[in-house]
Structure 1
């Protein structure tokens, strides 16, 4: 049995770190903020030094809180955030372009004739959300110097000196051959990235290198992209198991087992993780704005923050005929319409803050329903209960709305920080490969289960209203 480990989740708006003990659970925690800059034209950037500082600060705070040594470190990352940097010194050469940045739209439009072939090879649709279009944009507009990678490769270089990325994060670039789990020369050529020095693709668990960034020298033994780390922590390890994480965006992943599923639903087919050289795959669907939409509503003064969702929403029995499509950064899966903007319809002089809150919750939940439906279509059977985690799962209103529209149980993780739990499980597995996956992953228990409180007919009516609003938006944006 391994001792406690440090698990670090480097996210869009902050970094969370937990000290996890196999017997006692979470025995220490720490956080540090990250402040991405949102610029005109759908651009979003972060200072790379702030990313690294947040990892170090959160990790040190968690260790201080625990007050006892750990055996290893696991790191989860944002996935599609990219930057250029000097491989000799680790010095950033650009800011980090955040995953939801839209600046590479023109590159994607230019490469549209290659879209079908890219999707077949990499499992991903051609969209600026993924890393390769951003990498190509950096090479065209900012610098030809150094290397250009996802943020995890830079963080690992700064922490340990190694130049690696895990297979699942590599799969978020649109440069990885999904079947071979190796870099694709064809995809690299399409994006004008042939000849680039790319990190070595490694398993999610295993020794990467040592770091003294957190104080005592520790091995880094776990690496995984954030949503797949949450999938692992939720115990979703069998085909058809699914989870949704409600963070800055909402991300639904469904396991497909040892082979990728390339369906026609609009979902992404990608690597879930690679362990001991064996690859597991999943379907992935994204809602770009979840907590970020709540922050938007907060900025307008409608609510004071996410903690107000239930209180303000409770002031009204329903959304009062208001329909909110919170596509504030475009529509992702299954539509893939980054050009679409959000809409609020059905407003009247009697519309209240409570109506707006309920409409926002319905808009987020309805998009997740569309993802779950698409996953069921690709898998050939409807998904069962949906396991959920993330900060917004604290809202009973949102979770009940999700269960109502999904017409299936929603099981809330006992700990909202599932991504860090997954990173910690991989750190333990990388430290002691004799452990089975079941032994490394904490036993999953829900803290609450939300059952549907409305009938299928009412759920269908509410979903049709949402789909009508989406159809109107996509028609106008053409």
Structure 2
């Protein structure tokens, strides 16, 4: 039995830290907000110093609450957020471009002829969501000095002096060979990054150095990108199992085992983790706006915050004919149309706040249904259930809507802060080499299970309205795009709803 570990989850809107004891569970916690700036033109950036300061503050708060020392620390990160920095001093040379940032869209258009090659090598489509286009944009537009990396490499360097990234985070760049889990020369060439000094790719359970940022020296023994950390914490370790995290965005990951799956559904194939020298893979689908769409409604004064979803939405029986496609920063998987913007249709004089709330819940849930259907298509079998975590799972309205549209049970994690718990597990593995993976991962148990309450026919009708609205947006985007034709990843014409889950859970 090892002692407590400090697990730090550096996220988009804040940093959460937990002190996790293998015998007693969470014995200390801390949270420090960060404040990314959303600017015109799809730009989203944050001061890197704020990220680092939030890590230190949240970690110190958690340790103070625990009242006892930790034996190791683990760090989870945002994945696709990048910056340039000076490796000699650790000073940032640019702001951090947050994963939602779209400023590299034109660069992706210029590289479009290489998309097939890049997807074959890295498993990722060519999209500014991922790190490599942002890294290349920084080099072309801001600075050629220092190194340009994902935010985790900078944070680890500030904490320990090491220059590393874990295999799962490296897999989010668009520069990692999916089969070998090593940097790809051809991919670096495509992005004009061949001469770059890149961090060493390490296993997620590798001791990388010692930090005094939280007080007495602590070994940093675990690194893992955020969504994969949540995947591990929910014990989604068998092929065909899946989870969805509802945070700033919503992210569905399905485990595929030791072999990467490169499907045609529009999902991303990437590294889940590399533990004990063994690589596991997953399929990954993204909804860019979930809690951020709730904050948007809050900013308009429709609700006072996420806690209002259930009372306001519960005041009306349905969405009143309103359809909301919450593509406020574009459509991600399976469409990959970042230029598309959201839509609200079916408004009338009788439309009230409750209808807008229900329409938003349906819009988020419908996108997750499309991701689940895409995963089913790539796996060759439907998902039997969906494990979920994240702040928005506190909304019974959203979770019931998800079960209704998916026509499958939705199992809500009893463990809050799944990302931090996942990185606590890899930190324990890195600290105790003889520990088995199943011994480090928390026991899975749901706090609630939502069963579908509507018929398959009603689910199909509601999904049909959403897909019609998406099709309209895609057609409008195609009409204004160069060449006039929208394409899905791989070059096929975009077919909204093509990989969706039909009622019953099979790929339609």
Q: 2:494 maps to which residue?
A: none
Q: 2:372 maps to which residue?
A: 372
Q: Within 5 Å, which residues of 2 pair with 1:51-66? A: 51-66=51-66
Structure 1 unpaired stretches of 5+: none
CA distance in 2, matches of 1:458, 1:411: 22
Q: Within 5 Å, which residues of 2 pair with 1:79-478? A: 79-478=79-478
Q: Secondary structure at the match of 2:207?
A: strand
CA distance in 1, matches of 2:115, 2:9: 32
Q: Secondary structure at the match of 1:196?
A: coil
CA distance in 2, matches of 1:477, 1:154: 37
Q: Deviations over 1:336-390 (max 9, x none)?
A: 0001000000000000100000000000000000000000000000011100000
Cα shift at 1:234? 0.4
Q: Is residue 393–residue 416 contact of structure 1 (8 Å, CA) maintained in 2?
A: no
CA distance in 2, matches of 1:375, 1:206: 30
CA distance in 2, matches of 1:328, 1:232: 29
CA distance in 1, matches of 2:73, 2:409: 34
Cα shift at 1:416? 2.5
CA distance in 1, matches of 2:394, 2:269: 29
CA distance in 1, matches of 2:279, 2:308: 42
CA distance in 1, matches of 2:308, 2:457: 30
CA distance in 2, matches of 1:263, 1:335: 14
Q: Secondary structure at the match of 2:208?
A: strand
Structure 2 unpaired stretches of 5+: 479-508
Q: Secondary structure at the match of 2:180?
A: coil
Q: Deviations over 1:12-43 (max 9, x none)?
A: 00000001011111110000000000000000
CA distance in 1, matches of 2:469, 2:189: 39
CA distance in 1, matches of 2:371, 2:172: 18
Q: Deviations over 1:206-250 (max 9, x none)?
A: 211000000011000000000000000000001011000000000
CA distance in 2, matches of 1:26, 1:448: 20
CA distance in 2, matches of 1:206, 1:448: 35
Cα shift at 1:306? 0.2
Q: Deviations over 1:62-91 (max 9, x none)?
A: 001111111100100000000000011110
Q: Secondary structure at the match of 2:137?
A: helix
CA distance in 2, matches of 1:3, 1:447: 27
CA distance in 2, matches of 1:238, 1:141: 43
CA distance in 1, matches of 2:130, 2:206: 26
Q: 2:36 maps to which residue?
A: 36
CA distance in 2, matches of 1:214, 1:366: 42
Cα shift at 1:415? 2.3
Cα shift at 1:454? 0.6
Cα shift at 1:277? 1.3
CA distance in 1, matches of 2:18, 2:446: 19
CA distance in 1, matches of 2:416, 2:452: 22
Q: 1:46 maps to which residue?
A: 46
CA distance in 2, matches of 1:374, 1:145: 41
Q: Secondary structure at the match of 1:100?
A: coil
Q: Secondary structure at the match of 1:16?
A: strand
Q: Secondary structure at the match of 1:273?
A: strand
Cα shift at 1:433? 1.5
Q: Deviations over 1:232-290 (max 9, x none)?
A: 00000010110000000000000000010000000000000001111000000000000
CA distance in 2, matches of 1:464, 1:116: 31
Q: 2:490 maps to which residue?
A: none
Pairs aligned (count): 478
CA distance in 2, matches of 1:2, 1:365: 40
Q: Secondary structure at the match of 1:207?
A: coil
Name the TM-score, length of structure 2 as normaliser: 0.94
CA distance in 1, matches of 2:111, 2:300: 38
CA distance in 2, matches of 1:450, 1:256: 25
CA distance in 2, matches of 1:463, 1:208: 47
